[in-house]
Structure 1
Amino acid sequence: MASAPQQQSLPLFYNGLEPLSSELHANYKIQPQETAPFLANQHAIPVTVDEFALIQRFMPIVFSSGDDSVPLALMGMNEGVNVFVGDNGELLEPNIYVPAYVRRYPYMLARLRPDAQELSLCFDPTSPSLGEFDDGQALFEDGQPTEVTRGILAFAESFEQAGARTQQFMAELREMDLLMDGEMSIQPEGATQPFIYRGFQMVNEEKLNDLRGDQLRKMMKSGMLPLLHAHLFSLSLMRDVFGRQLQQGKAPQPEFVN
């Protein structure tokens, strides 16, 4: 029987992790959820480099602070604010791109033991989307994973592969020393003071432009340069996201915001 995965802390959104088992969960079914309440108060969502091209059309891409920085999509400019999702977790616009990290929930691949080589498909047992329901899509039939379960596993594996590419991308960014502390000042019409946002990192465009030609060619061939440009282009959307906050009555007081 599979044991529960051991971890120091749980990832964003997850309240627990349990390995999916054909024995323990033989009668489990999935009931698709039309809302995502867990997303309503989250303003920054981890993303992979595979998503940059799509995300840059809707929301800013920044990098978290610290040495182990990761890319983040800003769905709000302030903690606890998500301008793309209603208070009940419903999408406010049907065509907005939803990051894969969100779509993966409540599943993920995890090591059942710290020394384990293989990853196992796990789920958050507190999620209302799966359980021993009368109706829904079965996870197992005759002790074997259904097509639905195989699809979930394939998506989780694809996400892990994208995560590995993202880690390599971030390692190269750090090696080239292209990240710097970010700051964005937004002064709405009629405000006496600007809203100043810090606490994130961004690509140093001046350093990027000063790279040697051979370095830029290498980055272009590897696909890294277009990713950096997607990030830089997306930063202008900070003002759009802030504008949505104003429209929704979720803007903070006009003072320094970290």
Structure 2
Amino acid sequence: MASAPQANLPLFYNDLMPLNSRDHANWTSRTLDGADFLKNQHAIPLTADEFVECQRSYPIVFTSGDNSLPIALMGLNEGVNTFVNDEGKISEPVYLPAYIRRYPFLLAKLQPDSEELSLCFDPSQEVLGEYEGGQPLFDDKGQPTEYTKGVLQFCENFEQSGQRTKAFMDELAAADILMDGEIAITQNDEPDKPFVYRGFRMVDEAKLRELPAAKLEEWNKNGLLMLIHAHLFSLNLMRIIFGRQVQQGTAPKRQEQAVN
């Protein structure tokens, strides 16, 4: 059974296999018992469509370097996720980014020279298989079930959100309002020895205020200004996430930190 090309697999994915009625006619999809794949992941890719919902739970920042992308921080340090316990369970009701909810499925190109995307899955997660009691993937005529159609629709919606996210990031880049971020977090026992986090980008509020009124009005009408404000409001949660790390015993030593 041929797999899709394995080079440069995205976060979480260990392997990719195209879903088809010939090889998977009798397969079903079972519910994940936990989220082990999330335990050591602190930064999760995010779409712009999710900013308003996400900013209630996680800090939203942008990756450093060229072609910045938005990420939600479930922890401030690499390998630390403050929302997933040692058993791989989500520790409390919280918004889960679409990137997490999409897994183990993915739309991918099976041929590098083709623009066609095929529905694939990560077989290493063992969510799909000939299991009893799961959601059937195909009916007795080899056609996708409503469940599979729903998965495909979710993945297509995610791709469309990705395009809108790219357009949003292109606007920020063109306006040149992103800057290298830095946050210093102090604790009561040693207020003169802050934990300093760098390695991310954020909107420069000074540059935002200096933008022409016409540009701000345009962004207000098309919703981009709301996304920027959601990002800025969410930055206050970095201290909350740090506090969660302190409570969970995963706070770093006193030195400069990078969040991604």
Q: TM-score, normalised to structure 2's length?
A: 0.96
Q: Distance in 2 between matches of 1:28 and 1:213?
A: 56
Return the offset for 1:227.
Answer: 0.4
Q: How large is the RMSD of aligned CA atoms in angstroms?
A: 1.2
Q: Distance in 2 between matches of 1:128 and 1:17?
A: 12
Structure 1 counterpart of 2:187: 188
Does residue 94 of structure 2 align to residue 89 of structure 1?
no
Structure 1 counterpart of 2:219: 219
- The one-letter code of the counterpart of 2:54 is I
Q: Distance in 2 between matches of 1:219 and 1:188?
A: 38
Question: How many equivalent residue pairs?
Answer: 256
Structure 2 counterpart of 1:248: 248
Q: SS at 2:173's partner residue?
A: helix
Q: SS at 1:196's partner residue?
A: strand
Contact in 2 for aligned 1:32/1:129 (Cα 8 Å):
yes
- The one-letter code of the counterpart of 1:23 is R
Contact in 2 for aligned 1:193/1:255 (Cα 8 Å):
no
- The one-letter code of the counterpart of 2:83 is F
Q: SS at 2:206's partner residue?
A: helix
Q: Distance in 1 between matches of 2:71 and 2:83?
A: 15
Does residue 70 of structure 2 align to residue 63 of structure 1?
no
1:25-60 deviations in whole A, cap 9, x for unaligned?
A: 111111101311000110000000010000000110
- The one-letter code of the counterpart of 2:224 is M
Structure 1 residue ranges without an equivalent (≥5): none
Contact in 2 for aligned 1:194/1:256 (Cα 8 Å):
no
Q: Distance in 1 between matches of 2:4 and 2:114?
A: 10
Contact in 1 for aligned 2:186/2:194 (Cα 8 Å):
yes
Structure 1 counterpart of 2:73: 74
Return the offset for 1:254.
Answer: 1.7
Q: SS at 2:158's partner residue?
A: helix
Contact in 2 for aligned 1:64/1:71 (Cα 8 Å):
yes
Q: SS at 1:193's partner residue?
A: strand
Contact in 1 for aligned 2:58/2:237 (Cα 8 Å):
yes
- The one-letter code of the counterpart of 2:124 is T
Q: SS at 2:193's partner residue?
A: coil
1:194-213 deviations in whole A, cap 9, x for unaligned?
A: 11000000001100001111
Structure 2 counterpart of 1:106: 104
Return the offset for 1:7.
Answer: 5.3
1:157-201 deviations in whole A, cap 9, x for unaligned?
A: 010000110011111111111111000100111135211000000
Return the offset for 1:5.
Answer: 2.7
Q: SS at 2:125's partner residue?
A: coil
Structure 1 counterpart of 2:168: 169
Q: Distance in 2 between matches of 1:8 and 1:220?
A: 40
Structure 1 counterpart of 2:114: 116
Query: Percent identity between the aligned chains?
Result: 57
Q: Distance in 1 between matches of 2:74 and 2:215?
A: 33
Structure 2 counterpart of 1:51: 50
- Where do residues 22-37 of structure 1 align in structure 2 (5 Å cutoff)? 22-37=21-36
Q: Distance in 2 between matches of 1:215 and 1:91?
A: 41
Q: Distance in 2 between matches of 1:90 and 1:117?
A: 37
Q: Which runs of 4+ in 1 moved over 2 A?
A: 3-8
Q: Distance in 1 between matches of 2:183 and 2:199?
A: 10
Contact in 1 for aligned 2:6/2:15 (Cα 8 Å):
no
Contact in 2 for aligned 1:28/1:138 (Cα 8 Å):
yes
